[in-house]
Structure 1
Amino acid sequence: MNTLNENLAVTRNHLVDEIKSLTNEEFNHKPGKDKWSVAEVCHHLVLLEGRTAKLIQHLVKQPEITKTELKPIQLATDRSTKYSAPEIVQPSGEPFEVQQMLEMLNDARNKLLKVLDSLENQSILAERSATHPAFGELPLSQWVELIYLHEQRHIEQIKEIKQLVSRY
């Protein structure tokens, strides 16, 4: 679990580095009609992390074991494949202040870590699974791993948005 925590922390630090110096206007600027702003990308990450924590919290209490095989989730970082975010993790579209979002990201991460730390045995994450919208049936261990992989994907998106916003 140490490597997982390190990957979560390193990736989050990269995300924070990308957004902390933006003005609120830059943060909320949409580079196109059907494009997300940096704020919306971050809100999506907050929502996803919160949903994942709730999913884990719920499924580890289930008595039945629903083990499934590992999937090639590293594909999540390949931005040539487009995915549509499920409605439940779509950003609200409301404006956010950078500092407010940093706090929301921090809160979401703390809740996830609290859920993970509350597990008596981390191996239960490999023994429970849930259907992921992009990868199908995934063990919860990979749901957690996907948090930082998914975040890495969106960090690249944020870099692109920042390039577009700097020209605006």
Structure 2
Amino acid sequence: MKRLTTTLATIFIALLATAQTTIDKDERKKALEHLKKSQSDLIDLVNDLNAEQINFKQGEDSWSIAECMEHIAISEKNLIGMVQMSLKEESDPSKRGEVAMTDDQIIGLITSREQKVKTRKEFEPTNSFGDFDGTVRAFKERRESNIKFVKSTDADLRNHYMQFPFGLIDTYQGILFMSGHTQRHTDQIREIMNNDDFPG
């Protein structure tokens, strides 16, 4: 009996060692809800804006709504690209202790408008989608693709990592960061629209 118990325990441990770790149901739901809400909040806000409104700038060094929207669409591709690149590496549970923040802290950090950060060159708007409608369409397509990925993936998102200036995060948090980034710039668009000189 003792030998059987030992054998079963050995098999169980081996199965655990070879099984792929994936996000649980609550984590998947949280990410999907955040992605869908940040998308709908943005699209609802920019719907029906005219050309004068989307090109209005608060100052010479400020972005217009059109530029904010393009930056969001570019980031949607670049950030998920960073997630996908990380997933090509071997998973490493030993790094879990190095993760800099909790999920909620990641969302709080990226959505806060208190600290302004200059974006990297590859994230800068350059009128790459032709016009505002093209930009909105590109964002929607990329976000829908990313939602589909989160719905279906069985990747080990908790044991693959991305290095950011503020520290190490896991790839699940990278997805939350991407969604929070949309929320951050949606709030920036609201600030533009609340400017006293914003066209009526």
TM-score band (shorter)? 0.7 to 0.9
Distance (Å, rounded) in 1 between the aligned partners of 2:147 and 2:112: 26
Q: SS of the counterpart of 1:57?
A: helix
After TM superposition, give the deviation of residue 27 of structure 1 in Å: 1.0
How many residues are treated as equivalent by the alignment? 165
Give unpaired runs (5+ residues) of structure 2.
Answer: 1-27
1:75 aligns with 2:109: yes
**Which position in structure 2 is the counterpart of 1:131?**
163
**Which position in structure 2 is the counterpart of 1:20?**
47
1:107 aligns with 2:137: no
**Which position in structure 1 is the counterpart of 2:181?**
150
Distance (Å, rounded) in 1 between the aligned partners of 2:125 and 2:47: 19
**Which position in structure 2 is the counterpart of 1:50?**
77
Distance (Å, rounded) in 2 between the aligned partners of 1:92 and 1:150: 19
Provide TM-score, normalisation by structure 1.
0.85
Percent of aligned pairs sharing the same letter: 24
CA RMSD for the aligned pairs?
2.2
Give unpaired runs (5+ residues) of structure 1.
Answer: none
Structure 1 residues 58 and 94: alpha-carbon distance in aligned structure 2, compared to 1, 3 A threshold: closer
Q: SS of the counterpart of 1:81?
A: coil
Distance (Å, rounded) in 1 between the aligned partners of 2:138 and 2:129: 13
**Which position in structure 1 is the counterpart of 2:22?**
none
1:6 aligns with 2:33: yes
Distance (Å, rounded) in 2 between the aligned partners of 1:53 and 1:107: 13
Give the number of the structure whose alpha-carbon radius of gyration is greater.
Answer: 2
CA contact (8 A) 2:158 2:171 kept: yes
Deviations 1:97-156 (A, max 9, x none): 4422220111221332344355324xx1111111124x2221111111012222222111
Structure 1 residues 89 and 113: alpha-carbon distance in aligned structure 2, compared to 1, 3 A threshold: same
- Once the two structures are overlaid, the 10-residue window that deviates more, 135-144 or 57-66, is 57-66
Structure 1 residues 141 and 50: alpha-carbon distance in aligned structure 2, compared to 1, 3 A threshold: same
CA contact (8 A) 2:100 2:167 kept: no
Distance (Å, rounded) in 2 between the aligned partners of 1:26 and 1:167: 6
Provide TM-score, normalisation by structure 2.
0.73
CA contact (8 A) 1:28 1:96 kept: no
